[in-house]
Amino acid sequence: MIDAIKNFYGYNTWANNRLIEKLGELDPVAYKETYCSGNGTIRDTLHHLLNTQWGWTSWYDGSMTVQQGASAKLPDSDVATPEAAKARFQTIDEQTWAYLDSLTEEAVFADKPVVMPNRPTMSMPLWKMLMHTANHATHTRGQIISAIRGTGLAPGSFDMFLYILSDGKA
């Protein structure tokens, strides 16, 4: 199971880096003002993408409580430009991989309780939460890619099959 999780997160790293690189080709005004179906503008939706991975990973690795992770907000300056977003994503990705590299098969199958204010307590195996986090990024990247297309820029392919065929080097 750990290999499958790491493969999905490897794809996530590859795709996020490709996306941020492509965003660097946008006019700065388009980056900041083009509407995106996700969370406002392209920049705002990228903010959400990075913020979500950081918040969930920080909860998984114990550096935040679930409540802190769910409400954590990266500073706007972290995504003010694609270059700033690239730097911030690198630190989030390093944190993510440090956590993934620490996992055992036993840990990924263990139930992890989720206790949030004003919500029923629940639990599920950690692997399901990890896959949810990576899958959320796939969904959010799709929203940004669609908005990039709307600017007239061709974003290229972000298909996982391309990542697999290229061993993550494309």
pLDDT in tens, 66-83: 889 888 999 999 999 999
Q: Is 92 within 8 Å of 133 (Cβ atoms)?
A: no
Residue 82 neighbours by CB under 8 Å, 6+ apart: 20, 21, 23, 24, 26, 31
Tens digit of each residue's pLDDT (9 = 90 or more) over 94-144: 999 999 999 999 999 999 888 777 888 889 999 999 999 999 999 999 999
Q: Which domains does the chain have, with CATH numbers?
A: 2-165 (1.20.120.450)
- For 51, the token pair is 């913020």
Helices (H), 61-169: 66-71, 82-102, 105-109, 126-150, 160-165
- For 39, the token pair is 């969370």
- For 88, the token pair is 């911030």
Query: pTM for the complete prediction?
Result: 0.93
pLDDT of residue 125: 96
Give the model's confidence band at 170: pLDDT under 50 very low, under 70 low, under 90 confident, else very high.
low
Count Cα atoms within 13 angstroms, Cβ side, for 45.
28
Radius of gyration of the chain from its Cα atoms, rounded to whole angstroms: 16
- For 112, the token pair is 């992890």
